[in-house]
Chain A
Amino acid sequence: MGGVADSRSIAELGKALRDGTLTSVALTEETLDRVAALDGQIDSFITVTQDRALEDAARADRELKEGKDFGPMHGIPYGLKDIYDTAGIRTTCHSKLRLDNVPAADSVCATKLKDAGGVLIGKLATHEFAFGGPSFDLPFPPARNPWNPAHGPGGSSSGSGAAVAAGLLRTAMGSDTGGSIRGPAAYCGTIGIKPTYGRVSRRGVFPLSYTLDHCGPLTKTVEDAAITMQCIAGYDPLDPASADVPVPDFSAGLTAGVKGMKIGVLRSFYRDAEGVSDEAVAAIDAATGVLKDLGAEVEEVAAVSSFADYNNCGRVILLAEAYAIHEQDLQTRPLDYGRLTMERIVLGGYLTAADLMQAQRQRRELCEEVNSGLFSRYDVLIAASSLTPAPLIDAPQKSFPLNWPMQTLPFNVTGNPAMSIPIGFSRSGLPLSMQIAGKYFDEATVFQVGQAYENATEWHLRWPDMSVAAAASAA
């Protein structure tokens, strides 16, 4: 078992599956072997669904042989954050409260990936209920960063980020309420896209905050993200927030480049933020320079609301909605939550109805500012995904880190699509990243810009050497 991952993309694996040089069973067995050999270093899996995976793979091989081709995901292994319901497979939310929860039905995303011929390898670690972590007082250990297991992978889709970065999976589903897809993508050096609110059904995914929750994939490359999005996007009349809008071909414009595009950089959000790393700022400056060299018109965005306006608004809404979801359990069994989760979610109870309405009013104004304002001038916006490289996993955490601005939260507040993409490495060898945000339901342009950057750089070609990670872990 090598320490470095198979670098083939979903499209390349798909080609091999169709020209007879690879079978899904062989790919799945290799994936399962790699998980068994290496996941102990990063704890990205909660449940490995080995039997189901081998059944899915055998069926995929049979179908492809019979000429039934369900598209690019057919025969490809994937994973699901353990808040996605899976029929007959426990879905724990990484919590003592749901250790014995075995759903009767699949979440919509699980159904769509299954119908696309995907091979479910397992359920992935998360911060408890997609909120509290990294924590060491939960039924399962926290996932770790494959680039250095002494560091966290970000959250809350921690296992999804770690598994993809380590090359255990090419694609894994996460969820994003304040940055829980883009945060782990940033810390782990992967792609992570939060689609437009309403683009992907959330039905069957345990909620954190009804009006901020989004489902989306983490992948190694932009193209892999576009392929996964193609499988999971679409209207769901049973998800109250689902939007009945056409789904474009997300891969169609990947090679179109950025020449002539107008790109705004939200530099004021991160440039002077408390705790921001010089390396993070320099990497974004360099990355926007690459886009400029490729022919885009890049300029710093002026005269927008402060980051605090977005942050305050998003956090008040998130906490109020999360408390409403967890109210009964917080009253009756608070000690069954991990400490961080409990201390964070309970705060929502201390908000007033007027607090929430003021936040909703502010949200309206911020949506206007971004969509009627900024996106009337720019094709995409660039912002930081995180202010620093991944911190140590056991670094002390405040229960409610008000001074730690989540750079990703503004686009949960406004609902715009936003993608984290790797743009370099810190001196300590950890990934650096930026966000590309787009207009409503224009994920295709976000992918287009990301692909242009990816084609011009080589960050996505690097993989953590898991044999080195093993040595660091042992030390």
Chain B
Amino acid sequence: MSDIQDDKGARIAFQKITETLGLSLPADREQAIFEGYLGLRDMADGLRRPRTAASEPAGIFVPSTIGRED
């Protein structure tokens, strides 16, 4: 996410995505949504880490597969 390494880059990325999504954000709500976007990016980036085949999401809700070996 090199676009959001600084506030200006983040603002540009945010506006690009907003346009792509076809959204018209009310002016009085845009700042709050932008701040939420920054926080969400932090959360999503926190999910990126090395994982094994055992983390494949398939079958996640079938109890009998929960404990399978990778």
Interface residues of A, Cβ cutoff 8 Å to B:
197-198, 211, 241, 243, 308-309, 311-313, 315-316, 319, 330-331, 334-335, 339, 342-344, 346-347, 349-352, 355, 357-365, 367-368, 371-372, 398-400, 402, 415, 440-441
Contact = CB atoms under 8 A, between A and B. Distances in A.
B15 to A, nearest CB: 11
B35 to A, nearest CB: 7
A328 B67 CA distance: 39
Contacts of B39: 400, 402
Given A315-B43, A339-B29, A365 B66 contact: no
Contacts of B32: 343, 398-399
A296 to B, nearest CB: 25
A400 B17 contact: no
Given A343-B33, A402-B43, A415-B61, 5 more contacts: A343-B32, A349-B17, A351-B44, A371-B63, A371-B67
Contacts of A440: 63, 66
B33 A368 contact: no
Interface string B15-50: 001000111111001001101110111111011100
Given A312-B44, A313-B47, A400-B39, A331 B54 contact: no
A316 B37 CA distance: 11
Contacts of B7: none
Nearest to A315: B43
Contacts of A335: 26
Contacts of A342: 29
Contacts of A309: 46
A361 B23 contact: no
22 contacts: A211-B61, A312-B43, A319-B40, A331-B23, A335-B26, A339-B29, A343-B29, A343-B32, A347-B40, A349-B23, A360-B60, A361-B55, A361-B56, A362-B47, A364-B56, A368-B67, A371-B63, A372-B67, A398-B35, A399-B36, A402-B40, A440-B63
A400 B40 contact: yes
A342 B37 CA distance: 13
A192 B44 CA distance: 30
A441 B55 CA distance: 23
A358 B48 contact: yes
Q: Which 3 A-B pairs have the closest CB atoms?
A: A400-B36, A360-B57, A358-B47
A340 to B, nearest CB: 9
Contacts of A330: 23
Contacts of A331: 21-23
A313 B36 CA distance: 16
Contact of A312 (B29, B36, B47, B63): B47
Given A312-B47, A343-B32, A364 B55 contact: yes
A400 B46 CA distance: 17
B67 A355 contact: no
Given A347-B36, A362-B55, A441 B61 contact: no
A243 B63 CA distance: 10
Contacts of B8: none
A342 B25 CA distance: 10
Contact of B47 (A347, A355, A399, A402): A355
A32 B57 CA distance: 48
A400 B35 contact: yes
A318 to B, nearest CB: 11
Contacts of B67: 368, 371-372
A368 B26 contact: no
